[in-house]
Amino acid sequence: MDIIAQYGNIMVIMACVFGFFMAWGVGANDVANAMGTSVGSRALTLKQAIVIAILFEFAGAYLAGGAVTETIRKGIIEPSLLTGNPELLVYGMMASLLAAGIWLLIATHFGWPVSTTHSIVGAIVGFAAVGISMEAVHWTKVGSIVASWVVSPVTAGIIAFFLFRSVQKLILDTENPFANAKRYVPYYIFLVGFIIAMVTFTKGLKHIGLHLSWLQSAGISVIIGLITMAAGMFMQRNIKIDAAADREYHFTSVEKVFGVLMMFTACAMAFAHGSNDVANAVGPLAAIVGIVNAGGEVAQKAAMPAWILLLGGGGIVAGLVMYGHKVIATVGQNITELTPSRGFAATLAAASTVVVASGTGLPISTTHTLVGAVLGVGIARGLAALNLKVVGTIFVSWIVTLPAGAILSIMFFFMLKGIFS
105-157: per-residue pLDDT in tens?
998 888 887 888 888 888 988 988 888 888 888 788 778 777 777 888 888 89
User: What φ, ψ does residue 225 adopt, rounded to 5°?
Assistant: -60, -45
What pLDDT, in 10s, does the model give residues 157-172? Answer: 999 999 889 988 998 8
In this predicted model, what pLDDT tens digit does every residue of 373-414 receive, in sequence order?
888 888 887 776 777 787 788 788 888 888 899 999 999 999
Q: Is 341 exposed, middle or buried (0-12, 13-18, 19+ CB in 10 A)?
A: buried
Over residues 7-38, the pLDDT tens digits come to: 888 999 999 999 999 999 988 888 777 777 78
**Residue 214: what are its φ and ψ, rounded to 5°?**
-60, -40
Residue 277 has pLDDT above 50, yes or no: yes
Residue 94 or residue 55, greater confidence: 94
Q: Looking at residues 333-358, what average pLDDT do you find?
A: 76
Question: Where does residue 396 rank: exposed (0-12), middle (13-18), buried (19+ CB within 10 A)?
Answer: exposed
Lowest mean pLDDT among 174-188, 300-314, 356-370: 356-370
**By mean pLDDT, which of 54-63, 354-363, 399-408 is the weakest?**
354-363
pLDDT interval class at 361 (50, 70, 90)? low
Query: What spatial distance separates the first Cα and last Cα of the chain, rounded to whole Å?
Result: 11
Mean of per-residue pLDDT scores for the chain: 81
Specify the higher pLDDT residue, 334 or 310: 310
pLDDT value at residue 360:
61
CA distances from 413 to 294, 345, 374 (A): 22, 43, 37
Q: What is the CB neighbour count within 10 angstroms for residue 166?
A: 14
Residue 138 has a CB neighbour count (10 Å cut-off) of 17
- 3-class secondary-structure state, position 176: coil
Instruction: Judge whether residue 349 has pLDDT over 80.
Output: yes
CA dist 230 → 188, 189, 218, 234, 237 (Å):
12, 9, 18, 6, 11
257 exposed, middle or buried (CB, 10 Å; 0-12, 13-18, 19+)? buried
Give yes or no for residue 188 having a pLDDT over 70.
Answer: yes
pLDDT on residue 362: 61
**Range in 205-214, 217-226, 375-384 with the lowest mean pLDDT:** 205-214
More confident residue, 35 or 419: 419
pLDDT range class, residue 99, cuts 50, 70, 90: very high
Three-state DSSP class for residue 336: strand
The confidence score (pLDDT) of residue 69 equals: 39
In order of 101, 132, 193, 195, 255, the CA distances from 58 in angstroms are 19, 35, 19, 20, 29
pLDDT digits 0-9 by tens, 255-274: 888 888 888 878 877 877 77
DSSP for residue 386: B
Q: What is the pLDDT of residue 340?
A: 83
Instruction: Give the single-character DSSP code of 103.
Output: H
Instruction: Judge whether 260 and 239 are in contact, CB under 8 Å.
Output: yes
Nearest residue to 31 via CA among 116, 96, 93: 116
